[in-house]
A and B are shown apart, each in its own frame.
Chain A
Amino acid sequence: MSDQCTLRLVRELRQVERSEQLAFTVRYEESNIRDIQALIIGPPGTPYELGFYEFSIKIPSDYPATPPAVRIRTTNKGRTRFGPNLYANGKVCLSILGTWHGSRGEQWSPAQGLESVMLSIQSLLSSNPYTLEPGFDENDRANDTENMEIYKSKICHENLRLAVITPLEQAFQAPSLTRELAPRVGQESSAEEDSELEFEPEPALLNQSKFYDFCKRRFLWYLEFYQNAIERGIADEAWRQGTSFIQMPFEGHGNAMTGKWNYLDLQTRLLALRDQLMEETHRWPVEGLVLVKEDAGIAVKLRGQHEQIAAETSAYPQVLDLSLVDENPFVWRLTYVGRNESKLEGGIIKIKIYISPRHPEEQPRAFVESPLYHIRVSKLGVLMYLPSHAEEIGQHIEGIINTLEDDNPPYNPLMTVNPEASALCWGSELDRRLYRRKLRASLEES
């Protein structure tokens, strides 16, 4: 039976890794594939929007005859219930997991799998979580409408605080990947650490640290969205600033979402994270130079890869140049010229690619140097692209070029790094014209 479990699980994991969805990612050790960590991005348009929600998925030995055991780990150390079905103690109430009685069509069967479990969990991160509490789905109580709004409001706040800012702060507090991966006493890195409350050190878990770079990359993508959400919170909910969360009728007995509205604090912490992230990126070439002097393997390898990729791309008319900045193999500069009759026509775009000394555990970060008003370029200059293979630098370069070449990409809120440009690009005819005009104007400046 165990054979059956492993064979099917390997198949499913491979499929999850191959699928190009951006909404979740999984990590596991080859030595024990039945112990899976999953990170789900809160669905856009919900109070959980673009938050990082961590789950542990344990696969039973008779899988797929019985469902996986799923726990939510984003619980603020067991203190926060993120939704009616996402308990503070980690329990996830879901009929397909057998943790909730559902109608027969909702229960587990071997036709279900990792992907359908992930989709079901995503559906718990809903746009109106209040109605997911049994008996509260009819809006038939006197204050249901009011409670729905309050519940959404506090989840929005805690989403930013506990599912975006806190995990990122931990990523920076955690021991660097270079030094060691083993647990270190006194250095915490739990996903549920709450900086406002007492400091409880916990050993760093390898699995968790595997999400750090993923979260940092996404944080750079979604930064403007987070900033806007916090600014909206400050402006629209000023009267709530400093007040305690109101409890829902179904919350209590240590299974609740308690705390205070404090968007001003979130703003300070978010900006500090942005600065830390940029500092970290700018430190890579400095660390890299040391490795160059030492003739370290990674430095030699990157230099070789650069030579090879530069030769390959020279045949490509859109790539004017691919060079090392100051001869440093840890910073590359790609000079790209827009293809005729494309939206980028004639524009010369310079992109600086920072490569981590810990590549591929930490993936490269690409920044557009000249001002470019583009749906895939954030205000900070972060270029959003998808490499088909994260390990190889060549695939990153290809991903960057593909992003620039893609003139009519489909709308995907998980790929939105420039909310304003995206609203125009996928807006009315008038908006679209305005987008093209702004893009042209930025190209002429470059």
Chain B
Amino acid sequence: MKVTIKEWNAVATWHWNIPEDEVCGICRVQFDGTCPTCKFPGDDCALVQGRCNHAFHMHCLMTWIDLESSKGLCPMCRQKFEWKDKE
């Protein structure tokens, strides 16, 4: 039997390379969702991971890091928050 494909629709799902049920420690929303200020998850609302391995929505973390009271510390472990280079 010969089949001719006339048309096809591709469907894909994606999620961040982080366990699905984990939430951002700042806004408490799943990483695959957005931070409270964004509407669309994905590249527009990226994640950041520190050397301490704690991850956050980038926007959530920036709000915190910009504050003087944060002293540049990770909200979870209070070590200096430094961007993890790889990935």
Contacts and interface: CB of A to CB of B under 8 A. Distances in A.
A297 B63 CA distance: 51
B63 A7 contact: no
B84 interface: no
Nearest to B26: A110
Given A105-B78, A110-B64, A7 B36 contact: yes
B28 A109 contact: no
Given A1-B63, A104-B78, A110-B60, A8 B36 contact: yes
A108 interface: yes
Nearest to B66: A65
B70 interface: yes
A280 interface: no
A3 B36 contact: yes
Contacts of B35: 4
Interface in A187-226: none
B27 interface: yes
Interface in B4-57: 25-29, 35-37
Contacts of B78: 104-105, 107, 109
A109 B36 contact: no
A111 B69 contact: no
Interface string A278-292: 000000000000000
A113 B28 CA distance: 10
B85 to A, nearest CB: 23
B52 to A, nearest CB: 12
Given A4-B36, A7-B36, A65 B63 contact: yes
A98 B71 CA distance: 14
A265 B18 CA distance: 61
A43 interface: no
Interface in A88-116: 98, 104-105, 107-111, 113
A247 interface: no
B67 interface: yes
A65 B28 contact: no
Interface residues of B, number: 19
Nearest to B54: A111
A110 B25 contact: yes
Contacts of A98: 69
Interface residues of A, number: 19
Residue from A12, A64, A105 whose CB has the most chain B CB atoms within 10 Å: A64
Contact of A65 (B29, B37, B67, B73): B67
A66 interface: yes
Contacts of A179: none
Nearest to A67: B69
B47 to A, nearest CB: 15
Contacts of B63: 1, 4, 65
B28 A108 contact: no
B74 to A, nearest CB: 8
Contacts of A18: none
Contacts of A113: 28
A293 interface: no
A147 B73 CA distance: 40
A225 B67 CA distance: 48
A141 interface: no
A252 to B, nearest CB: 32
A253 interface: no
A111 B73 contact: no
Contacts of A66: 67, 69
A112 to B, nearest CB: 8
Contacts of A65: 63-64, 67, 69-70
B76 A8 contact: no
17 contacts: A3-B37, A4-B35, A4-B60, A4-B63, A7-B27, A8-B27, A8-B36, A12-B28, A65-B64, A65-B69, A105-B78, A108-B69, A109-B64, A109-B75, A109-B78, A110-B25, A113-B28
Given A65-B69, A109-B76, A111-B76, 17 more contacts: A3-B36, A3-B37, A4-B27, A4-B35, A7-B29, A8-B27, A11-B29, A65-B64, A65-B67, A65-B70, A66-B69, A105-B78, A109-B64, A109-B75, A110-B26, A110-B75, A111-B25
